[in-house]
Amino acid sequence: MTTIDLLVFGPHPDDIEIGFGGSVALHVADGRRVGLCDLTRGELGSNGTIDERLAEAEAARAVLGADWRVNLAWPDGGPYDTPDHHDDVVRLVRACRPEIVAIPYWNDRHPDHRAASEILSRALFTAGLRRYEPKGETPAWMSGDARLEAWRPRRVCYYFINDDAPVSFALDVSEVYDKKRQALACHETQFAPREGDRVATRLTASTFFQMIESRDAHLGALTGVPFAEGVVIREPLLRTSLFDDRRAG
């Protein structure tokens, strides 16, 4: 596991692609090193096996160009907020030392997404406390000699999965939007499962992709570009001038 510039967390193996896939591809194209972390294997999903979902997630990682992707194998559906899970995140952040971290927005229709946002927010804060020591054994996904000195990312950003809200700023993902589409297509069991054991869900409906693209297109239209992904931050942004913006036109 290498040190990275941007670390993105998702509750389930397809959530990063849904809400932040364009932004991952954008920063990879800009030369940034990006790591992805799925909290669960999505085993409660109506379609797809664990092995299928892990393979799809890895295929999507390759499409987006992220350096690595790790799955913490927390139980799908929770509980999320446990001491062991908290320390998983602390260890990961301290090991890969990201400058920026992106996590799900705290208000979402899916209870797992809300729970993930809460535990991630707390663990990211704790990771910066030099007197805090994670307890228990080192997880299998982490090297035993990984650095565990305290580390606090410069900024925590929140992205949208199902819902949206007023954004702090938007990221222009127009030039890499096909990468987002290709990464989403990797999750075949979720969006286009084959006949047989297939179950119709909200994700298999054609309107789900329409919802994703219309949200990104709407924010893009508001900011003067074809597609944009929204970001919320809790702290004010400092700018050098009233004219410091990149609005098209």
Token pair belonging to 195 = 């006949």
pLDDT for 249: 44
Residue 101 has phi, psi (to 5 degrees) of: -125, 140
Dihedral angle sign, alpha carbons of residues 120, 121, 122, 124: positive
What is the tens place of the pLDDT at every residue in 144-172? 656 689 999 999 999 999 999 999 999 99
Count of positions (residues) in the chain: 249
Q: How many helices (H) and strands (E) does the chain have?
A: 7, 7
Q: Rounded to an integer, what is the distance from CA 166 to the centroid of its chain? A: 19
Distance CA 70, CA 54 (A): 10
Q: What is the pLDDT of residues 195-229, one digit of tens each?
A: 767 787 777 788 888 889 999 999 999 999 999 99
Reported pTM: 0.93
User: Tell me, what's the pLDDT at 192?
Assistant: 79
**CA distance linking residue 175 with residue 166, whole number of Å:** 23
From first to last of its 249 residues, the chain has per-residue pLDDT tens of 789 999 999 999 999 999 999 999 999 999 999 999 999 998 888 887 899 899 999 999 999 999 999 999 999 998 999 999 999 999 999 999 999 999 999 999 999 999 999 999 999 999 999 999 998 777 777 766 566 899 999 999 999 999 999 999 999 999 999 999 999 999 988 877 777 677 877 777 888 888 899 999 999 999 999 999 999 999 998 888 878 665 544
Alpha-carbon span 220 to 22, nearest angstrom: 12
Task: Mark 91-116 as b/e (b = at least 16 C-beta within 10 Å).
Answer: bbbbbbbbebbbbbbbebeeebbbbb
In contact, 79 and 50? CB cutoff 8 Å: no
The stretches of the chain forming alpha helices (DSSP H) are 15-29, 50-64, 83-96, 111-126, 177-185, 188-191, 206-223
Q: What is the pLDDT of residue 245?
A: 66
